[in-house]
Amino acid sequence: NTSTITFNPAPAGYGIKFVRKIDGEEVIVPALVDYVVDLSRGTTLGIQHNGKEVRVQTVEHVMAALYGLQIDNCKVELSESEPPVCDGSSAEYVKVLLKAGLVEQEEQREYFVINEAVRYTNEKNGVDIVALPTDDYRITVMIDYHNPALGSQHTGLFNLEKEFVSEFASARTFCFLSEVEMLYNQGLIKGGNLDSAIVIVDKEFDDKQLKELQEKFNMKDAPVLGETGILNDSALRFKNEPARHKLLDLLGDLSLAGVPLKAQILAARPGHAANIEFAKKIRALYKKTSPLKRFQIDKNSESVLNINDLLKIMPHRYPFLLIDKIIDIDYENKTILGVKNVTMNEQFFTGHFPGKPVMPGVLICEAMAQTGCLLLLQTLDDYTQYHVFFMAIKNAKFRKPVIPGDQLVMDLQMLGKKFNSYMFKGTAYVNSQVVAETEFSAAVIKKEL
C-alpha cells in the first residue's frame, strides 16, 4: 500500500503526535520514548486500542526532520503504519515542511538543561553515549562496524539551525550487502530499493545472486558490484554519509525524550537500541525535574518562605544574608529551591570589579550553602538550639559570570548524613542556564547554654 504522511499545525503544548485512522476512529500515538515497542530495524511506536496494538514504524527520520527544524508541536497523520520511505533520509520531509512554512508560537520554548554528565554504556557492543553540559545542542558521532568495507567514520553537528538542512537531513540510510538477504528474509526491507539506501559492498556476489536481488526488489536491471564499494556505483552525497545518517537517527531517537535539549552529545557506535535506552535516561531525568520547572523560575514565583521568614530562621544578616526567598521545599526528596536577586547595591560590587561588576564565585557557593543550611535547619526538631558550620567543599565549578540584574536560582539536595555532618549538592542557575555547581558538607553543632 502507498503510504501518505500529512503534517498538521498544532497548538503550543501539543507536542508531536502521530495519528492513524483505525475503523474510522483517530488513534493517537504520542512521539515519546515511553511508547517505543520495537527496535528491530528502526524505531517503532505503539499504543493499545480496543485490545489491539496500533503501531507507527520507523519514525526516526520524521522525528529528525521535526527536531532539526525546531518544530515542537505537530499533528502527524499517517495513512499506513509506516511513513513514506522516500530516499532513506529526512530530506523530503524537510522539504515539504519548509514549503508549508513554520510559525513561531507565543509561548516560551522550554528546554531541558543537562547540568551533569548522563551516560549509557554497552561494553559488549562497544557503545558509549554521554550528554555533557553546554549552552546549546551539539552532537558528535563515531561509527565503527569492524568491517573494512566501511572502516571508522566521524561527524559532528554544532549548529542545528545552520547545519541540519544542508549537512545532515539528506544523509541516507545504509546497510552492508552481506546483510541484504537476511534483512529481506526477515521482512525488514521488502519495501526498500536502491534509491532508499546505500548498499556497501562487503562481499563478492556472483551473477546468480545479483539476479536474485533483482527479482526480490523488482528492479528493472540486475545490480552490479561496481568499482566504488557501493552497489551500482551509486554516488555518496557526503564522504562520511553513513556517519551523518547515524547522527540523523540519533537526533530523531533522542527527540523522543519529549523536550528540546541543551547538551553536548558524544556517541560512539550509536544504534536504535542504544539511542532509545539513552533517551529513556534523559526523559526520566526530565520527568523528575519538570513538575517544579526547576530551571525556569519566574521572578514573581510565590514564596514558600519570604525574607521575613528567613530572618526568623537564619542567623545571617545584611550584608551577608544571600537568600531573598525560598520557593520550594521537598522534605521527602530533601531538596530546596532558593532565590537571590542580584542588584548593583551589593557591597561586594564596589571592589569586584570597578567598571565590570561580577559576583564572586565564593559568594555564589556561600548562597548555595545558606540555602542548604536552611533545609537542614528545617529538618531539626528545634533549629534554635543549633549552629550549622561549613566543613568542606569540593568539585566547585563556575560556568558563567553572575552580574547585577541577574536572578540566582539555587537548587540544593541533601545527599546524606554521617554522624553530625551532612552532605549537599548544589547547582545555581541564571535564566535556566547553569552558572555554578558544587558539593559541600556542613556540621550541626549544639549551641552552648
Q: pLDDT tens for residues 175-211?
A: 888 877 777 666 656 555 656 788 888 888 888 888 8
CATH of 5-172+238-291, one of 3.40.50.2300, 3.40.50.300, 3.30.1700.10, 3.30.70.2740: 3.30.1700.10
Mean pLDDT of 10-25: 92
For residue 291, pLDDT over 80 is answered with no
Mean pLDDT of 417-424: 90
What pLDDT digit, counting tens, does each position of 263-284 carry? 999 999 999 999 999 999 999 8
What's the pLDDT at 293?
47
Backbone angles phi, psi at 219, to 5 degrees: -85, 145
**Helix, strand or coil, per DSSP, at residue 32:** coil
Rounded to whole angstroms, how far apart are CA atoms 197 and 41? 13
3-state secondary structure 56-86: ECCCHHHHHHHHHCCCCCEEEEECCCCCCCC
The least confident of 297-301, 386-390, 439-443 is 297-301
| Catalytic position from the list 61, 272, 316, 387 | 272
What's the pLDDT at 192?
55
Backbone angles phi, psi at 222, to 5 degrees: -70, 140
Provide the mean pLDDT of the chain: 89
Question: H or E stretch including 58?
Answer: none
Structure-model confidence comparison of residues 211 and 55, the more confident one = 55
The distance of Cα 427 from the centroid of its chain, to the nearest Å, equals 19
| 352 noted as active-site residue | yes
Rounded to whole angstroms, how far apart are CA atoms 377 and 386? 8
Residue 84 CA: distances (Å) to CA of 3, 4, 60: 5, 6, 12
The least confident of 169-183, 231-245, 279-293, 295-309 is 295-309
| 387 noted as active-site residue | no
As given in the structure block, the three cell numbers for residue 235 are 554516488
SS3 content of the chain, % helix, strand, coil (to 5): 30, 30, 40
Mean pLDDT of 377-406: 90
Q: Pick the closest to residue 77 from 165, 23, 9, 12 (CA basis).
A: 9
Question: H or E stretch including 313?
Answer: helix 307-313
Rounded to whole angstroms, how far apart are CA atoms 77 and 82? 11
Residue 208 CA: distances (Å) to CA of 205, 211, 390: 8, 5, 78
| Catalytic position from the list 49, 61, 154, 352 | 352
Q: What is the pTM of this model?
A: 0.64
Structure-model confidence comparison of residues 42 and 148, the more confident one = 42
For residue 386, pLDDT over 60 is answered with yes
**Helix, strand or coil, per DSSP, at residue 332:** coil
Mean pLDDT of 62-87: 96
Whether domain 307-446 has CATH 3.10.129.10: the reply is: yes
What's the pLDDT at 338?
93
For the chain, domain boundaries: 5-172+238-291, 174-233, 307-446
Q: Position 399: which residue type? A: R
Rounded to whole angstroms, how far apart are CA atoms 167 and 187? 31
Alpha helices (H) in 198-306, listed in sequence order: 207-216, 241-254, 272-289
